Amino acid sequence: MNPLIEINHLSTHFHTGSGTVKAVDDVSFRIHPGETVCIVGESGCGKSITAMSIMGLVEGPHGKVVNGSIQFDGKDLLRISKEELRRIRGNDISIIFQEPMSSLNPVITIGKQIMEPLMIHQRLSKKQAYARALELIELVGIPRAEQIAESYPHQLSGGMLQRIMIAIAISCEPKLLIADEPTTALDVTIQAQVLETLRQSKEQSNMSIMLITHDLGVVAEMADYVIVMYAGKIVEEGEVTELFERPKHPYTQGLLRSKPIIGQRTEELFSIPGQVPNPLELTESCYFHDRCDSCMDICRTRQPELKQVSASQRAACWLYEEEAQHE
């Protein structure tokens, strides 16, 4: 099966007063139709910037996609005109952000905000768009659609707003939905509702989802394929069951071990020592080396490449490289 979107060697840099931050550093992956790919990592690892780069939302003059290509539907999203990109955004690829409160316009009714993309991208008349908006509100599990369509964002709760965001995002039946921490700001019981809504809308239209999250529980529940990022780079990727059962990279292993799990209490939680490196002070090395239990000499001086380590997994770690053993 051909991939829906193929990202090759994507690099996004930010120029700051004290140096260049490589927020996304040579990242490649692909998403197939109907697949859910989760990108996990801690704050500052570049997962959101990857999403922003795909959507063409990295803002100059400080931030810039400096290298790579994003193949979607036979086009390179980084090299098409603004007008073409506008037609794809919201139509073929749409995005949901973390904060539903700040992603909606406070002075326009919910109904109008759902109708807008329908009228622009699908060329529906006002009447048709309104009818479709009501359908969408019901589709994401909110009752009393007509009343909701007339209300303003401040009248709804966070969980409802996030479902409205999903309604807007799926309104044009996109092929790819990017969801950037869609449930982080929500309570667990509401999170369960929103994840359920995402799953249902995916089943109905066979769209692909790129889900960005820091919560490994959410990953296990939603993902088909998982990508783990650390300091701007992919350190490990693989099929979800395989990756959770046999994580290869020490960082993935550490992440999985440090999450407290209900019903599996231990006297002391495992914790990864130290903290994420300063992105301005990165040198040629494995970026994880100073927090790693199995750090070797080579880890301090050379960067490992992402290589196949099992049938469905790839990891960037010298532990799995023959070169390292020879030195």
Partner 1 sequence: MSEHLLEVRHLKKYFPITAGLLNRTVGHVKAVDDISLTIQAGETFGLVGESGSGKSTVGRTILRLHEKTDGEVLFKGMPIHELSKAEMSKLRPQMQLIFQDPYSSLNPRIRIGDAVGEALVNHGLATKEEARERALDVLEACGLSSYHYSRFPHEFSGGQRQRIGIARALALNPDFIIADEPVSALDVSIQAQIINLFKKLQHTRGLTYLFISHDLSVVEHLCNRIGVMYLGSMMEMASRDELFSQPLHPYTKALLSAIPVPVPKLKRERIVLKGDIPSPANPPSGCKFHTRCPYAVSRCKEEIPEFRNVGGDHFVACHLV
Please pick, from the candidates 95, 272, 292, 315, the single residue that binds partner 1 as defined by CB under 8 A. Answer: 272
CB-CB contact of 258 with 270 (8 Å): yes
Nearer to partner 1, 70 or 145 (CB): 145
- Give every CB contact of residue 107 below 8 A, 6+ residues apart in sequence: 152
Under the criterion CB under 8 A, does residue 100 sit at the interface with partner 1? no
Side-chain-side CA neighbours of residue 127 (13 Å): 0
Under the criterion CB under 8 A, does residue 282 sit at the interface with partner 1? no
Q: Pairing between strand 5-16 and 93-96?
A: unpaired
In the complex, the smallest distance separating the C-beta of residue 188 from partner 1, rounded to whole angstroms, is: 4
Nearest one of 157, 243, 159 to 195, comparing CA atoms: 159
x/- letters, 201..220, toward partner 1 (CB under 8 A): -------------xxxxxxx
Please pick, from the candidates 160, 166, 210, 212, the single residue that binds partner 1 as defined by CB under 8 A. Answer: 160
Please pick, from the candidates 15, 75, 154, 259, the single residue that binds partner 1 as defined by CB under 8 A. Answer: 259
Nearer to partner 1, 223 or 234 (CB): 223
Q: What is the SS3 assignment for 151?
A: coil
Nearest one of 42, 44, 5, 40 to 24, comparing CA atoms: 44
Under the criterion CB under 8 A, does residue 221 sit at the interface with partner 1? yes
Nearest one of 79, 37, 25, 23 to 56, comparing CA atoms: 79
Got the DSSP string for 121-176? HS---HHHHHHHHHHHHHHTT-S-HHHHHHS-GGGS-HHHHHHHHHHHHHTT--SE
Nearer to partner 1, 118 or 228 (CB): 228
Q: What is the SS3 assignment for 150?
A: helix
Under the criterion CB under 8 A, does residue 300 sit at the interface with partner 1? no
In the complex, the smallest distance separating the C-beta of residue 128 from partner 1, rounded to whole angstroms, is: 30
Under the criterion CB under 8 A, does residue 265 sit at the interface with partner 1? yes
Under the criterion CB under 8 A, does residue 129 sit at the interface with partner 1? no
Q: Which residue spans within 218-291 are E strands per DSSP?
A: 225-230, 233-239
Footprint (CB under 8 A) of partner 1, residues 43-82: 43
CB-CB contact of 228 with 55 (8 Å): no
Q: What is the SS3 assignment for 126?
A: helix
Segment interacting with partner 1, rule: CB under 8 A, options 66-74, 87-95, 113-121, 261-269: 261-269
Segment interacting with partner 1, rule: CB under 8 A, options 87-95, 164-172, 264-272, 318-326: 264-272
Please name every residue paired with 94 in a beta bridge, in sequence order, or none if there are none.
177
Residue 165: its H or E element: helix 158-170
Distance, in Å, from the CA atom of 27 to the CA atom of 223, rounded to the nearest integer, reads 19
Under the criterion CB under 8 A, does residue 256 sit at the interface with partner 1? yes
Please name every residue paired with 19 in a beta bridge, in sequence order, or none if there are none.
16
Please pick, from the candidates 2, 18, 81, 266, the single residue that binds partner 1 as defined by CB under 8 A. Answer: 266
- Residues in contact with partner 1, counted by CB under 8 A, come to a total of 45
Distance, in Å, from the CA atom of 237 to the CA atom of 17, rounded to the nearest integer, reads 33
Nearer to partner 1, 150 or 196 (CB): 196
- Give every CB contact of residue 307 below 8 A, 6+ residues apart in sequence: 314, 315, 316, 320, 321
x/- letters, 173..202, toward partner 1 (CB under 8 A): --------------xxxxxxx-xx------
In the complex, the smallest distance separating the C-beta of residue 136 from partner 1, rounded to whole angstroms, is: 19
Under the criterion CB under 8 A, does residue 17 sit at the interface with partner 1? no
Q: Which residues of the chain form contacts with partner 1 (CB under 8 A)?
A: 42-43, 157, 159-160, 187-193, 195-196, 214-221, 223, 240-241, 244, 254-256, 258-263, 265-266, 268-273, 275-276
